[in-house]
Structure 1
C-alpha cells in the first residue's frame, strides 16, 4: 500500500512539475511575442519620425525610394533648438580659389595614365526624375534597414572610437575598436574647413557588418568623450544600406559618437537646402582597375558670419549646413583635419578582414590601380583655400592598408592610399 501511495504522490508531483514547465513555456512564448510586438512598434515609430510626408517619390534603379520632402519639413527641424530657425538658403561667404573638380581632371596626373572618359558623377535616382523646387531629396528608410542595426537607438550611428589617433596609436586599441585607417592629416593650427577630390571605387566588403569608406574629417576637441567631428565622403556599408553600392554620405558628432549625431539625415542636425543631391544615395559611375577613373569633390567650410559649417559637392551643389550650436569646439574652429580611408575589421583575435580600402590595391601601384585623394586643401582664418602645411600620414598596419603622399603642379598635395586587408603579409 505504501508503495502505491508513494507512486501516486510521485506522479502528482511529476504532473505539477509538467504543468509549471508548460506554464513557463507559455509565459516565455508570450513574453517573446510581446517583445517582438514592442520592437515592431519601436521600429514603426522611428520610421514615422524619419520618413517625412513626400510631395513626390522617385524610385531609383537600385531599389531606393527617394522622397521629395518640403524643405521646412526635413528631419533637422525635429531638433528643439531649430523649431523657429530661419533656413539660410546660401552661405554669406565662400572660400576663394575654388575650381571645377566635379569631374576627373583633364590635366595629367603625377604618372602616366590610360585614356579615360571625363564625366560628372551622378546619383542613380536621377535617371527616373528630379525633385521639385522647394523640396529636398531624402532616401527613404525601410523597416529592414532599422532591423539590421543592433538597436533602434543605434540605427544610423557609428560605433565609438571611429577616429584614427595619429600621435598615440595603440595596437590594443586597434583590435578593440575594429577600425583601421590610412590617412593624411594636419594639426597644430586653427582650421576653418577642408577640401579634397576623392577617387571613387566600389570596394569589396567581407562581412555584412563591416564597411569601407573614404572621407575627410573636420575635428575639434580632444580624442576623449568631447570630440567634435564633421565627416563627408563616399562609403560602402551593407549594414546601413542593405547593399554594396557606393554612396555619398555625411556624419557628425559632438561627443565622440556616444549620444549625438548620425549618418546623413537620420537624425536632426544637418539642414539641407539642395533639391538635387540625396545624402546616402548611390553615386555612379565608379572607377575600374586599369580603366576609367572617376572622382568627386567635397568642400566643408565655416561661414565666418553665421558660424555654420557648410558642405559643397562638386562645383555646383551647395548641399546645406550644420548649425554652429550643434558643437562645442567646432563652434570656434577645427584643430585637426584628416583625409583618407577607413574600414571596420570584425575578425577576432588579431586576424584581418579581406574588406578592401579604396580600390583594394596598395599605393605603390599608382594611378588607375590605387585610389587617391588629390588637391587637398584647408580653409584658413581669412576664408581662403590653401595647401596644408606639415602634412603627416598614419596607418595602424601598413601591410594591410597603406598611404603615400606627393605633390606637383597639377594635383597639388595628393596621396594614394588603401589596400586589400588580409594578405600573406597581413594574416
Structure 2
C-alpha cells in the first residue's frame, strides 16, 4: 500500500466524520487474494446505454444541459499529478430521474480525461442515493472509457471499497455536514492514476487507471480542477447543486453548516507534493450564475485551509434545501 500513497496526504480538516465512513462491503470485505467487482446486470447495461446516449461527451460542457460551478488550474506548461480535497457529502433532490448532481475533481489533457467524486445519478444506478464514482476516457468518450467498472481499464486494488458503492457518511458533531477526503493522484514511479478515500489509518486506495490507457496524460496532466456539476436534459428545469444554497462571498462562518464545500484543496505539483492552489492560477468556471456559483477562500484556518464553497438551487427554487444527506 505504501507505494500508492502520495508524498503528502492533506491532514484531516477536523476530527470529522472520516471515522464514520460506512463504506465497507457487507461481510467485512473479500477473501484474501480477491477484490470486489460489482456484478453488472442487464438492467445496468440498459441504464448505462441510455445515460451515455443522453449525456453526451462527459468532459464537454453542453450548453443548456451540463451546468458546472468550479475552479480549474490550467497554466502554460503546467505539469500536474493530481488533486485532492475534503468534500462535503449530500443527496441533492433531482427534479427528474433524467438528471444527475454531484461533486468531483478531475485531470485532463487533450482528449484524455479522468474524474472522481460522488453523485446522485438515477439513470446510472437505478436509485436516488449518493454513490462514489469514477470516469475515464482517452478520446473524449467517442469509443473509449466508461463510468466505474462498466468497461475494462480500471484496476481494482481495495478489498473493501469499490466504485459505484453507496456513500453513507455520518458527521461526528450533530448538525455538521459529513466530510470525506478524496484523492486523485499519479504515482511517482508507475505513473498509475490512483483514486483513494479516507485519511490516516482510514486512508485506502480504491484502485487505478494505468498510464497506457491514455495519450496526453501518461506522465502528467496539463489541467486539474474541482467542481460541482448538474446534468439537465434540454426542456427540463435544473435541479439543485450541493445543498441547494448559494455560497456567500463575505460570510465564512455562516456557511460551514449550510453550503457545500471542497476544503483542504490541494493539487499535486511537478514534484508530486500536494500544495494549495494560488489565486492567479485559478480559473473560475460557472456557466449559469443565476442558478449556481462557487466562491474561493484561499485560507480560512488551519483546519479548513484553502476552501471552495459552491452550489445553488438551480431552478428548483420552491423545493426545500437539501437536508437528507444520509443514505438511510
Q: TM-score range by the shorter chain?
A: 0.7 to 0.9
Please identify runs of 4+ aligned residues in structure 1 that moved more than 6 A.
Answer: none
**Cα–Cα, structure 1 residues 119 and 310, in superposed 2: closer, same or farther, change >3 Å?**
closer
In the alignment, structure 1 residue 340 sits paired with structure 2 residue 227: yes
Q: How does 1:22-421 map to 2 (within 5 A)?
A: 90=1, 92=3, 94-101=5-12, 105-106=14-15, 119-123=19-23, 126=25, 128-150=27-49, 159-163=55-59, 173-175=62-64, 178-188=65-75, 189-221=78-110, 227-285=111-169, 291-315=175-199, 316-348=203-235, 352-353=237-238, 355-364=239-248, 366-389=255-278, 390-408=281-299, 409-410=301-302, 411-421=304-314
SS in 2 for 1:291: coil
1:307 and 1:119 map into 2 onto residues whose CA distance is: 30
Give the Å deviation of 1:396.
0.6
1:302 and 1:138 map into 2 onto residues whose CA distance is: 23
**Cα–Cα, structure 1 residues 118 and 305, in superposed 2: closer, same or farther, change >3 Å?**
closer
- Aligned length in residues: 303
SS in 2 for 1:334: coil
Larger Rg: 1
Q: Which ranges of structure 1 fall in alignment gaps of 5 or more residues?
A: 1-89, 107-115, 166-172, 222-226
When normalised by structure 1's length, the TM-score is: 0.66
Contact map agreement 1:201 1:286 (CA 8 A) in 2: no
Contact map agreement 1:376 1:414 (CA 8 A) in 2: yes
1:292 and 1:414 map into 2 onto residues whose CA distance is: 16
1:424 and 1:130 map into 2 onto residues whose CA distance is: 42
When normalised by structure 2's length, the TM-score is: 0.84
1:149 and 1:130 map into 2 onto residues whose CA distance is: 26
Give the Å deviation of 1:100.
4.4
Q: Which ranges of structure 2 fall in alignment gaps of 5 or more residues?
A: 249-253, 319-328
SS in 1 for 2:140: coil
2:57 and 2:150 map into 1 onto residues whose CA distance is: 20
- Superposed CA RMSD in Å reads 2.5
Give the Å deviation of 1:174.
1.0
**Cα–Cα, structure 1 residues 344 and 250, in superposed 2: closer, same or farther, change >3 Å?**
same
Cross-structure match for 2:323: none
Give the Å deviation of 1:387.
1.3
**Cα–Cα, structure 1 residues 392 and 197, in superposed 2: closer, same or farther, change >3 Å?**
same
Give the Å deviation of 1:127.
5.0
